[in-house]
Structure 1
Amino acid sequence: MLIRVGYGMTIEVAQPTHLFTMMSVHPERARDVNWQSPTETVPPVAKRAFIDQFGNSCLRMVAPAGEFTITQDAIVSDTGEPDLVQPDAREWPPEQLPDGCLRYLKGSRYCETDRLSQLAWRLFGNVTPGWARVQAVCDYVHDRLTFSYGYARSTRTALEAHQERLGVCRDFAHLAITFCRCLNIPARYVNGYLGDIGVEPDPSPMDFSAWFEVYLGGRWYTFDARHNHPRTGRIVVARGRDAMDVPLLHTFGLHTLKAFRVWTDEVDSRSRARSEPPRTAVRSRLGPPGRSPLDLGAREGVNHLI
């Protein structure tokens, strides 16, 4: 199948401000990109691409004072298969894990393994190790938390999400990641595109989504504690230890978010149309200056949209 993905974001800055974005399709899907527009800005500015320490595609630029808009549009090929389910995937003991997995066993900004370890072992210590244990974590988080965009808070940690019993998709991911790490299962945070393909359409405006991956049986598998069932058409944008590592936008100075829209739609495989992005994707739930309305959240009073 073909999936059309893209975004348009407008911010306002009081003075020329250096920034970088992390909103392009992940380099691992490069061969699946049938067509992609250059990242365009209004007004036009010079841009420089780089790959960060986690292998994510980033773009640096300087926004001039005033309103500044960034857009990109792409058509990506996808297998159309749902997330892989492998019930016999086994845990590897820490001493057998690849070196690159070790960073995903430690605590991070939003994942307080030191404060949730005892609870994790009490809840899941007797569950069969491997796939069944990770699925038990997802089941618990899915039932424990209530989802709503109105519950977004940029500073909420995994422990706070567990205590408050609410959050958005990043909170579901952070809590599940933390439990997995406490159980010595490498887990990493993922954000990307996830449209309403094969499911009932969500009436809310589209947004970037967050899920997580775990290392079992020698490879990484996708899990999603918010939806808690296999989905079709995930397109990874970025991975990291938690949301702090994968900001959609990082500005080195204050900014105000003025508008943001995202589209993720299956398109006719016989067409490569490059028409204007769907206007129905315009997001209207804008928060006060300095805060992001995004499902992925934002840090209050500083310069991240994550």
Structure 2
Amino acid sequence: MYLLGSRYCDTQRLTDLAWSTFGSISGGWRRVQAICDYVHGHIKFGYQFARSDRTASEGHQERIGVCRDFAHLAVTLCRCVNIPARYCTGYLGDIGVPPDPAPMDFSAWFEAYIGGRWYTFDARHNHPRIGRIVIARGRDAADVAISTAFGQAELVHFKVITNEVRDCDAIPTRPAMELERRLFA
């Protein structure tokens, strides 16, 4: 399922571009990173560029978008070169990077299946980040919409805060929780 085209990942329009640009790159990881580098340099990010119906090929052509457009294009290019890829949505805080004064928002990234497991990639930021909170995974944004509204809908309030926990002892591990449950049962 993660090799097929979908609503926003219109593989049939980008297959030739994908093979001509990335087909000679060997190795799954290097190929996916080359795709991320390409998408990161090709699309200009801006919230004012948000459009709910933009496909990957339109994002490629228009060269503007938001994080979902970066993810859709990268997912599509991966699928075009036979690398399974799935769209991810969730939260991405400012842990390990300079604080962003803008309010926290939903974020989109993707995962590619390489060497028998899924790896996280983010074509918008294009460097490793910590503190991702995955809400859902799917073929594209149509599968994992955070909310769906028909007609006029106004967001009145939205606030998400993430904080890094520095003391690992403060977070019980699964074995510690199991032991505690047996001791106090």
Indicate the TM-score class for this superposition, using the shorter chain for normalisation.
Answer: 0.7 to 0.9
Q: 2:75 aligns with which of 155, 171, 177?
A: 177
Amino acid at match of 2:157: F
Distance 2:23 2:39 in 1: 16
Cα offset, 1:267, TM superposition: 5.2
Cα offset, 1:269, TM superposition: 5.9
Cα offset, 1:201, TM superposition: 1.4
1:208–1:262 contact (8 Å) kept in structure 2: no
1:194–1:264 contact (8 Å) kept in structure 2: no
Distance 1:171 1:239 in 2: 15
Q: 2:28 aligns with which of 101, 119, 130?
A: 130
Distance 2:109 2:160 in 1: 18
Distance 1:110 1:250 in 2: 16
RMSD: 1.7
Q: 1:144 aligns with which of 42, 65, 73?
A: 42
User: Highest relative contact order (Cα 8 Å, sep 6+), 1 or 2?
Assistant: 1
User: Are 2:160 and 1:263 equivalent residues in the alignment?
Assistant: yes
Cα offset, 1:264, TM superposition: 3.0
Distance 1:264 1:186 in 2: 32
Distance 1:125 1:213 in 2: 19
Residue 158 of structure 2 aligns to a residue in which SS?
strand
Structure 2 counterpart of 1:210: 108
1:144–1:165 contact (8 Å) kept in structure 2: yes
Q: TM-score, normalised by structure 1?
A: 0.53
Structure 1 counterpart of 2:56: 158
Distance 2:8 2:34 in 1: 21
User: Are 2:43 and 1:106 equivalent residues in the alignment?
Assistant: no
Structure 1 counterpart of 2:140: 242
Structure 1: tracts of 5 or more residues without a match: 1-102, 273-306
2:95–2:164 contact (8 Å) kept in structure 1: no
2:11–2:79 contact (8 Å) kept in structure 1: yes
Distance 2:80 2:97 in 1: 32
Residue 155 of structure 2 aligns to a residue in which SS?
strand
Structure 1 residue ranges, 4+ long, deviating more than 2 angstroms after superposition: 267-272
Q: CA offsets per residue over residues 217-264 of structure 1, 9 Å max, x none?
A: 11100000000011011111001100001111124x434123131313
1:110–1:242 contact (8 Å) kept in structure 2: yes
1:142–1:227 contact (8 Å) kept in structure 2: yes
More strand by share: 1
Q: CA offsets per residue over residues 25-73 of structure 1, 9 Å max, x none?
A: xxxxxxxxxxxxxxxxxxxxxxxxxxxxxxxxxxxxxxxxxxxxxxxxx
Structure 1 counterpart of 2:180: none
More helix by share: 2
2:136–2:144 contact (8 Å) kept in structure 1: yes
Structure 2: tracts of 5 or more residues without a match: 172-185
Q: TM-score, normalised by structure 2?
A: 0.86
Structure 2 counterpart of 1:196: 94
Q: CA offsets per residue over residues 179-199 of structure 1, 9 Å max, x none?
A: 000001000000011100010
1:240–1:246 contact (8 Å) kept in structure 2: yes
